[in-house]
Structure formats: C-alpha cells, structure tokens
Structure 1
C-alpha cells in the first residue's frame, strides 16, 4: 500500500501555488522595461507586494492600486536602488497585480495526479481578488488576498503568534461566505487549537514567574498582556459573529425545501452543527484567557513586590551566567576563581540566614535623631533673597534666549523651528545663549508648541501691563517685554502653525531634542 500518496492532490495544491506564480513571473516579458532582469529580484518584489496587500487586509483597510504603486516606488528606490518615476511605478504595480498575480483575468489551474483514482486532477489557483470601492475621484479597484493567497504567504514563514488567530478568522469568514463548510470546520478546529496553545503559553509564563520573576523581563510581560487583550477582544466579537452566521445558515438550510437525506446536505448540516459547538467552546475559552490575563497580572505584581522587599539577596542565573558561558568557552574554567573570589575574599557586611530567605523582610522604622541642645537660627530674609536671586537668574536665561529668537524672527519675517535650529548651528555663541541648559530649551519649545497666536497689539493696549517684578517665564509676557525693549512696535501679531515634519535641536553636541516643526510668522507694518 502506498499510503503516503493518498493526500497527493492536497500536496500538489501547495506546490501549484508556488509553481504557477513562479512560472508567471518568469514567462512574462515586460519586466525588462523596468530594469528587472534578474528573476530572483522579480520574485522578491512580487512577494513583497503580496505581503503589502495582506497587511492592508489584516488591518481591514482597502488596498487600492494607488497604495500598491506608492509601496512599489518606495521599495524600488529605497531598498533596491532602482530609480523609477511614479507613473512607471503605477504601470509596474498594475502589471504585477493584474498580469502576474491575476493572470490577466484568466483562470489558473495546476494539474496534479490523484493516485487514489488514477486520474489527473485540475487544481484551481487564485492569489488575489478585486472589488470596487468609492473614492473622491469616483469608483476605483481595491485588492484583497484569497484563501490560496494566504496559504502561499503564510507557507513562506512561521506566522507570528499574534497574527495566527486574526488570519484564521479571516480565512474562516471567506470559507463560510463560499459555503465551504468542510474546510471551515477544519479552520474552526485550528482556531480552537491556537486558543488552547495560548492558554498553555500563559501557564508557562506563570510557572516562569513563580520560579524566578527576575528571569522574566517587563517587556515580555507587557507584550504578552497587550497582545492577549487586543487579540482576545477582537476574536470574541469575530467568533461570536461567525457563530451567529452559522446559526442563520443552519436555520435557512433546514427551513428550505431540500432533501435532508442527501449525503451532501447532511454533511453540510453536520459540519455547521459541529462548528457551532466548537465556536461555543472557543468563546468560553476566550473568557478563560481574559481571566488568566488578570490572574497573570496579579501574580506578576506580587512577584515583583516580593523581589523588591528582599534587596539584600543578590540573584543571578546559574545557567545563563555560569554554565552557558563555560560551555561557550571551556577555557573560562581557568578563571573560575574569579567567579568565587567575591565570596571568598570580600568582606561580608551581612550574613544571609538561609532559614529566613523566603520570609518577607521587615522594614525597620528609622530611628529618631537625638535632640540637639544647640538651636540653629533661621535667617528668613537670606532664604527669601536666595530664592529671588534663583528666580531672577532663571528669568534672565529665558529672556536672553527669547531675545535671540525674536531678533532672528524680526530679520526673517517667517521662519521654521528647523531653519532656526540651522541658524543656531552656524552661530555657536547664539546656541549657548538660547539653550544654556536642557530645562530652558524644553521650556521654550513646549511654550512654542502650545502657542497659536500672540496678539502683541492687543496686549499693548490692555490695562494690565507686565509687572517689572514678574520673574516667571510666560511666553506672551516675555514677547511683549522684548518688543518694548527692542522698540519693535511694527510687530502686531506672531502666528504659530504646526507642520508635518519634525525639528531637531542639538544640545551640547550630544543630545538631540526633537519636536513638531512650526512655521512662525510675524504680522505688522513692515512684515
């Protein structure tokens, strides 16, 4: 018996997905006009486009030819170093999706031999499908992956854990819509297996925390918690919708005038009923996972707290810090005394009582200092004077920085934070005054980002003017002060408009401060 050949058509389905696509890529002749002579390069680009379409599908977004064209232009120029203009990128994208992937609308079939029947079997192949969407310029075409397309792409790499369930849900939806209930039943079972695997993953994480929370990083914890919450909430809604759709289809099928003794009809009803039962279990499993998430959170917090209250115990991983390093470099055994030296030669400040190692540490209340018989006189006036001098110095730093900014703005009329940063880069002395310390720089940038319009003309005519003793930095007041000092009476307004780009300021040639770029314009008689 050649049992290993019984599922041969199914294997040939997988082979055919690759064979037909590679054949289309090789046999089409228009690649050369885009400078894509190398077959490997063509395959890389086509699979990149497939992944791009799948990414849009997973985010439940319409992937139009414009989106694909922008993506192709980006990877051609930035990743492959091939210059291509937008029009040619659009033509190439149309060629990839409509000729290579869709075979110009012609049905693609791969011939596989069925050893059970002894006959050849036509295996249909389809990677993407299209549909119409409305846009500002009228109706246009969007593309999405088919079940074959997902199978092809997912077969090239093990799927990330946080994508397995969402992808399976999308495949299940297509199978239910196509009334392919036998395949849908297999997919439902796969989803259930993925949920069970997720529970096992949580159990393993809990075990790792119980063994040693120090070996479990905060990043691992946050990733698992956030992924679970996001996936489970989405999965609960999607699977509940699928279950309702299956119930409706079952009721419709039973209410219709069909022969329930027909093997095909009976098989469909059986598959639908079995899917309903499994989906019910899956919804219960999702609730269990969400409960485990909560218990996992509580366990992790308790473990971290318990670790923090025993700070005197130095922990290390004997496997990773000792055994693995010796395996990687056996010569390190010659320096084993260095590993033990702290234990043998270092003066021990405290002894570890092994009997107390698992007990919670009792925090001792600080001893009250003995009352001194010597009384110290507090000079209140000196303290107030020191505080005033500190505020005055801070105000002077902001004033000097704003003076540089206002003079540059007056000179240029319209500037951006980026252009001002470039100006500072050319004038080191100005840079030192504008950003004498990091807090001053951040305070100025935050004030700029919060500003919209500074109406200098209105402030000048207000009854309440700036008090000379007002030593706290406030952008409006500071601008008016400098306008009066510098006799800039022609400045009426200063407008701040946010831009899409970012601006970067270099602090002392070592630290970059990045913020949203702004366009800053003055209005006035000479502006």
Structure 2
C-alpha cells in the first residue's frame, strides 16, 4: 500500500536544525585539548560551549565589540567562579581561542551537514556557521578582531529555550531589520511571517484568557493576568513604531523598484524576485500593524471582563456553590441506594415559606391608575441651573474620593506597621476611628480591595516613572495608581517600594460587622481573606 509522503516535505529544513547541533558535537567531541583545561566529559564540553555562545550573543544583541580579550576575561571568571578551575589570563586566552577558532570556527574551514531532500531524491549540503568576525578599531586606534553571532548561531540558541513572547518578538524584529539592511529580502519574508505568527499567538492567548475568565474568574490567577497584561503592553508599545518605520522603508523600496521597472530596458530576474518579496513584506507589515491594534482592543476587553467577573464574585461570596453533576449525579450512578437520601438534598428547596402567590389572571386585566393626578396637564417645566448642578456634582465626587482615599490610607498605615498583614489583621487591629475610614461603605471598601487584587503587584517606582514620562489627565472616578501616587508623597510611606497583594490560601472568610452600605443601612458582610506585604525601596 502506497502512503502519501507529504509529511516528508521540507525535510531538509528540519534537518538543518538538527545539523547545527550535530556539526558542533562532531567538532568538539574529537578534540583532545579539552583535558588540558580540566574538562573531561562531553557534557562539560557542551555546557562550556553554549555558555560562550550566550556571552557572544549578549554582545551581539547590544551591538558592542566582542574581542578575544573580553572573551578570555569571561572564560577566566566563569572557570574560576563556577567550575572551580583556576586559569590565569594567558591560559584563559588560549582556552577561549581554542573554543572560538578551533571548534566554533572549525579552524577556518567551512562546515557542512548533509540533509536528504525527499523531493529532489538527493542529499543537499547545508552550510553551518555559528559565528563570524570583523575588524574593529578601539578608542586608542588599536586594531582588533570582534566576534558576533550569525543567523545560524541565533537560531540555534533561540531554539534552546522557550523565551518570553516580547523577547521573541524583539529578536525576530532585530533579524528582520538586519536582513532588510543586507537586502536579503527572501529571508526577510520568513522573518516577517514569523513576527506575524507571534502576534497571532498573542491574540489567541488573550481570547483563551477571556474564555477562562468567563468560565471561572477564580481559576485564572492574578499572576497569569499580570503576565499577560505585561506581554500585551510590551508587544504593542515596544514594537508598533518600529514596524511602522519598516513599512515606510519598504514602500520607498517598492516605489524605487517599480520606477526602475518602468524606465529601465532590462529588469533582471533577481530584481523581479526582490520586488515580489518586497510586496509580500509590505502586505505582512500592514497585517502586523492591524494585529497590533486588535491586541490593544482585546487587552482592554480582557481588563474590563476580569474586573466585572471579580466584582460579581465578590457579590456572591455568601453563596456556597458545588458541582451538581459530580457531587450528586455521578455518586448516584455509582450507588443507586443513595436515592433513599435524595430528600435530604431537595427538601431545603421546598422548606422555605412562599410569601407571595402569583395569579396569572391578573396578567390579562387592564391596568388602571389607582389615583388620579391632581394636575391634568402632564407636561412640566423645569427650571434647571446647570452651574449649580455641576457644582453639587463635583462636591459629591470630591466627598466620595475622600472616602476612597481614607480607605487606602488606612491600609497603607497598617501595612507600614505590620509589613505583612491580611484583611483579618485589619479587622482586628483597627481602632474605631480607623475602622470608620477603612469602611466608609461596603461598596467602596469592596471596590478598593478588588482594585488591589487586580493589580497583584504594584511597583511604586514604575508608576512614578510612567507619571513623569507621560502626560495623563486625572480620572474623574477612583483609579488606584493615581491615588497611590498622591498618598505616597507623604513621608510616612517613603520606604514602600513595591506592594504585593494576593488571595490567602487558607480559604477563610473575614466578617465585617455593622458596616453601612450606599443606601444607608447597617449590615454584616463576609469577604475572602486577602494578604498584603511590601518590599522596601
């Protein structure tokens, strides 16, 4: 029976990834000089080589010169500080030169890996090169050789670890920019496709998060939410402007090629291919910018949904829920004799007294006014003083904001005293006057705690920097970060650097008694226990 062999397409490209490691191992394992530097096993060889490659990558990403002197100093520090091998600088320089030139550079000889191409039914020679070098002149005019990673080196190292999404995007953007500068538009097409794929994954992650929040907001942790929000902001803020500039650059290039195509007698096949690749890149850049806008919209949708779901949950803390299928149906299916106790489950549903009886006949009756209006003319003229209304509205808003401020102030005062505390601690330790400020109304207190929980971790330095970097209008309603910035100007809180807020895992509830609600009624209410702690500046 013949089997469709579509799964073997692009097999040579897969083997190219394998070849990067195969050639490196082949170059390294046969060398005897390793033992002269205290390295006995193959595992130690691989650890040392990849440590060195990461060091070179760090300099390449920073676009700084990486000479043999820098590499030797690093090798000396790592060998002595981590591996316990005492090498002087001269010995470290020999060791570094051995790894860089003999193993990674293969003593100047080209390195190839044979990968079978099932479509062409033959082996293809794939060139492997991890590092390259260039001549640089230092500040004093001394000529040196600087080493940097090639595309192959980047791809091999990036495949060794699952990076953060924003880091992946930055690296792909850097490779994309490098290929554009070298006019290697064929590779640039692959780069922009990878970038677009990363943005699509980020958008999908937000959709999955929204679905998880809709199902059960408590199953989606504050840490997961914070990490996703950070990824969203870094994805949009750090890369959007770069891609807009790339699109402008590509449009100029396309115009240049099109003008040359119209005016020149000969337009080579290579130029036609470049024009086609540039148009593909332009389309993907436009889609990439659209995807940025979509992620930004999803980010705010997720924030709104998460806030609403947490607020709804806080309103229902007194309702005890359980999965009916697993706790009732599944147990009865396993043991039918349990049906004799079914009345114990359902009886409470019918035990309460019904206060009112609904009469369906009343639905069909014509609804009449119970009392005639004293004024026949239903139209009414209002004398509306807009200025007075706005003044009263602003006064009401300021009074409410003072209540929010008082609540946050009490939490910070107690946090400075205890350094680590919970809502239960607040409930016990607050005096009468502090308690009045902490609980002006049940609704205000609940909103403040939800805002703290949603934030998860509040870095005071970061929000102060954001305030200085960006000109933002003050919000009319309660915004926790804005209020914290105003309150933390007080010298009492100067040592607070970062605040951590987290749900307590003990499952206990804290009961606050005799608390006023917005309607002016006094009542008791329960809420989940929440922990607070802070790090000093």
Normalising to structure 2: TM-score of the pair?
Answer: 0.54
Listed as ranges, the matches of 1:301-340 within 5 Å are 301-313=307-319
Uncovered stretches (5+) of structure 1, i.e. residues with no partner: 324-332, 334-342, 345-350, 354-442, 447-512, 517-527
The superposition leaves residues 96-128 of structure 1 with CA deviations (integer Å, 9 ceiling, x where unpaired) of 233322234433233445555565543221112
Give distance in 2, aligned partners of 1:259 and 1:101. 46
1:98 is aligned to 101
2:292 is aligned to 286
The superposition leaves residues 223-253 of structure 1 with CA deviations (integer Å, 9 ceiling, x where unpaired) of 1111221132222133223323323333333
8 A contact 1:240–1:283 mirrored in 2: yes
8 A contact 2:165–2:231 mirrored in 1: no
Is 1:161 the equivalent of 2:165?
A: yes
The superposition leaves residues 39-71 of structure 1 with CA deviations (integer Å, 9 ceiling, x where unpaired) of 221012112222333344456655554554454
Residue 109 of structure 1 aligns to a residue whose secondary structure is strand
Residue 112 of structure 2 aligns to a residue whose secondary structure is strand
8 A contact 2:217–2:310 mirrored in 1: yes
Give distance in 2, aligned partners of 1:301 and 1:66. 54
Residues 515, 272 of structure 1: CA spacing in aligned structure 2 closer, same or farther, 3 A cutoff? Answer: closer
Deviation at 1:198, TM superposition (A): 0.8
Is 1:274 the equivalent of 2:280?
A: yes
Residues 228, 143 of structure 1: CA spacing in aligned structure 2 closer, same or farther, 3 A cutoff? Answer: farther
Give distance in 2, aligned partners of 1:111 and 1:10. 11
8 A contact 2:166–2:234 mirrored in 1: no
Give distance in 2, aligned partners of 1:229 and 1:34. 47
1:50 is aligned to 53
Give distance in 2, aligned partners of 1:159 and 1:318. 41
Which one is further off, 201-210 or 27-36? Answer: 27-36
Uncovered stretches (5+) of structure 2, i.e. residues with no partner: 328-333, 335-343, 346-351, 355-491, 496-533
Residues 46, 225 of structure 1: CA spacing in aligned structure 2 closer, same or farther, 3 A cutoff? Answer: same
Residues 94, 209 of structure 1: CA spacing in aligned structure 2 closer, same or farther, 3 A cutoff? Answer: same
8 A contact 2:56–2:149 mirrored in 1: yes
Give distance in 1, aligned partners of 2:241 and 2:68. 31
Deviation at 1:173, TM superposition (A): 2.3
Which one is further off, 148-157 or 216-225? Answer: 148-157
8 A contact 1:58–1:166 mirrored in 2: no
Is 1:184 the equivalent of 2:188?
A: yes
Listed as ranges, the matches of 1:465-504 within 5 Å are none
Give distance in 2, aligned partners of 1:132 and 1:306. 64
Give distance in 1, aligned partners of 2:69 and 2:311. 53
Give distance in 2, aligned partners of 1:132 and 1:293. 46
8 A contact 1:260–1:266 mirrored in 2: no
8 A contact 1:208–1:215 mirrored in 2: yes
Listed as ranges, the matches of 1:76-91 within 5 Å are 76-91=79-94
1:466 is aligned to none
RMSD: 4.2
Runs ≥4 in structure 1, deviation > 6 angstroms?
315-319, 513-516
8 A contact 1:259–1:265 mirrored in 2: no
2:236 is aligned to 232
Deviation at 1:205, TM superposition (A): 1.1
Residues 189, 77 of structure 1: CA spacing in aligned structure 2 closer, same or farther, 3 A cutoff? Answer: same
Deviation at 1:280, TM superposition (A): 0.7
Residue 28 of structure 1 aligns to a residue whose secondary structure is coil
Give distance in 2, aligned partners of 1:82 and 1:233. 45
Residues 316, 106 of structure 1: CA spacing in aligned structure 2 closer, same or farther, 3 A cutoff? Answer: farther
Give distance in 1, aligned partners of 2:293 and 2:59. 28
* Match among 161, 164, 174 for residue 170 of structure 1: 174
Give distance in 1, aligned partners of 2:272 and 2:102. 41
2:36 is aligned to 33
* Match among 114, 122, 125 for residue 128 of structure 2: 125
The superposition leaves residues 451-498 of structure 1 with CA deviations (integer Å, 9 ceiling, x where unpaired) of xxxxxxxxxxxxxxxxxxxxxxxxxxxxxxxxxxxxxxxxxxxxxxxx
* Match among 4, 10, 13 for residue 10 of structure 1: 13
1:108 is aligned to 111
Deviation at 1:277, TM superposition (A): 1.1
* Match among 238, 254, 261 for residue 258 of structure 2: 254
Deviation at 1:2, TM superposition (A): 6.3
Give distance in 1, aligned partners of 2:75 and 2:82. 10
Deviation at 1:4, TM superposition (A): 5.8
Residue 210 of structure 1 aligns to a residue whose secondary structure is helix
Residue 82 of structure 1 aligns to a residue whose secondary structure is coil
Aligned positions, number: 339
8 A contact 2:236–2:292 mirrored in 1: yes
Residue 122 of structure 1 aligns to a residue whose secondary structure is strand
Give distance in 1, aligned partners of 2:286 and 2:270. 25
8 A contact 2:243–2:289 mirrored in 1: yes
Give distance in 1, aligned partners of 2:323 and 2:75. 47
8 A contact 2:217–2:309 mirrored in 1: yes
* Match among 131, 146, 153 for residue 149 of structure 1: 153
Residue 160 of structure 2 aligns to a residue whose secondary structure is coil
1:23 is aligned to 26
Deviation at 1:314, TM superposition (A): 5.3
8 A contact 2:68–2:145 mirrored in 1: yes
8 A contact 2:217–2:306 mirrored in 1: yes
